[in-house]
Amino acid sequence: MGMVSEFKQFAMKGNVVDLAIGVIIGGAFSKIVSSFIDDVITPLLLKPALEAANLQKIEDLTILGGVKYGMFLSAIINFIIVAFVLFLLVKGMNAAKKKEEAAPAAPAGPTQEQLLAEIRDLLKK
């Protein structure tokens, strides 16, 4: 098998495609969370503190002239929000899976022995 066909087989596996979709969605979700932090959380919760320091965004917080601890705080807040949303997503998926497993099984049909006995009886007639 050639290298190109082997790569094609690898790239078309379901797990690789799922991972690629997850990375793309994760990047988009990261932008949503960043916007949420910058445009909602910061103005509502941190506005007085930022105005007192004459700053616009949490990322502008610095100490010792250049250490941008505000960017670190923003990254921590982003991480907590993403982790919480993923927790809720996994929890919801697990609950749905439990409901699916708990669904009653379809009524059992005749066993193989019963079917064979019926066929035998029909053949005797």
| Whole-number Å distance between alpha carbons of 43 and 35 | 11
The tens digit of pLDDT for each residue in 7-65 reads 877 777 767 778 888 889 888 888 888 888 778 877 787 777 777 777 777 777 788 87
Contacts of 118 (CB under 8 A, 6+ apart): 110
Specify the 3-state DSSP secondary structure of 108.
coil
Cα–Cα distances in angstroms (integers) from residue 10 to residues 3, 24, 98, in the given order:
10, 19, 32
Q: Give all domains of the chain, ordered by start, each with its CATH number.
A: 3-124 (1.10.1200)
Here the tokens at position 41 are: 């959380």
Report pLDDT for 37. Answer: 78
Average model confidence (pLDDT) for the chain? 81
| pLDDT over 70 at 105, yes or no | no
Q: Which residues of 53-67 are buried (b: 16+ CB within 10 A; e: fewer)?
A: eebebbbebeeeeee
